[in-house]
Homo-oligomer: A and B are copies of this chain.
């Protein structure tokens, strides 16, 4: 379940900078694909030898090197060697329980954050870690899993839609982050739909299962919040990098991204409030119901206890009970019991217990 911690204990006692993959084991192979483009040309290919990256990295055109299924320490170490990454950064790429952060290494910046997406089949939230290295002419991304997350952006570059092809690496990095943030909205909407479905049932069918579902949704929201919150700071840091890596033209786009993050967080907060209110509503609906049940119980007891007592009296076997001999004893007693019952009911109606 999302929201709980990944196992890190395997790393205790190892020297710092040790490359250990923290996450679920999977069987797919690491895949490295490159898009190299400028306004005139696009070159898209998969590469086998990591050393081939160097050429792209140093070309004047913008290169986007995307590494999928990142979990082999060897591959990451190779990248680190070829592209001269700091050892701690290599460690962070593999430790997939990182908090979103930005590290400025001068020549390049390292950004790590959580990508959230919605698995339509399982109808649940997915998350994976995205590591992004932004240099002067290149962007390198490390994803935990292979997927079609970045396909719309690749298509836009390939087909030259939008301003992507005309811009530099900083705009490419922005476009990637923008896509990530768009998915935050999407996941939030999906969760919002589930919340609204639950909400409808809270007042009408307050059952135990709802309680569990509300708690699950609360935890999912907490996880979204925990993932998105530090991204705000990351984008802010990115904006405030001096002009080395981020051009003046890209800055307004990053500010826009910040506004979007703000909106996501506001949405999360709204839903968190909603969930808390739903929980309160659920509990007070239960209270209400208990109350109603109690009243019915009280009314039945109050009406029938005295009546049963009366029948008990006339059911006693005393030899000398002159009333029992009276001809109108039975109907009068019956009438009296109806009267007692009626008075009790009237009393409860007046006190609004019925």
| Residue positions of A touching B, CB distance < 8 A | 3-5, 7-9, 11-18, 86, 88, 91-92, 97-99, 101, 103, 152-153, 156, 161-164, 174-175, 178-179, 182-183, 185-186, 188-189, 192, 196, 203, 205, 208, 211-212, 215, 218-219, 222, 226, 252-253, 255-256, 259, 262-263, 266-267, 270, 273-274, 277, 279-291, 293-298, 300-302, 304-321, 324-330, 333-334, 337, 352-353
Contact = CB atoms under 8 A, between A and B. Distances in A.
Contact of A222 (B205, B273, B318): B273
Contact of A212 (B92, B203, B297): B203
Top 8 nearest A-B pairs (CB, nearest first) are A311-B312, A15-B162, A13-B152, A314-B316, A12-B182, A304-B305, A318-B330, A297-B298
Given A5-B188, A285-B208, A329-B318, A280 B277 contact: no
A262 B101 CA distance: 11
Q: Report the copy number of this chain in the oligomer.
A: 5
6 contacts: A12-B179, A211-B285, A279-B280, A301-B301, A318-B329, A319-B329
A236 to B, nearest CB: 15
Given A88-B252, A222-B273, 14 more contacts: A5-B270, A8-B185, A8-B186, A9-B185, A12-B186, A15-B164, A99-B259, A203-B208, A282-B284, A283-B287, A314-B316, A314-B318, A315-B315, A318-B326
A174 to B, nearest CB: 7
A150 B328 CA distance: 84
A317 B324 contact: yes
Contact of A215 (B211, B277, B311): B277
Nearest to A255: B103
Contacts of A333: 316, 318
A21 to B, nearest CB: 16
Contact of A175 (B16, B256, B266, B270): B16
Given A203-B212, A286-B284, A320-B329, A219 B300 contact: no
A161 B296 contact: no
A354 to B, nearest CB: 11
B317 A316 contact: yes
A297 B299 CA distance: 8
Nearest to A155: B13
Contacts of A326: 318-320
A316 B315 contact: yes
Contacts of A307: 309, 312
A188 B7 CA distance: 10
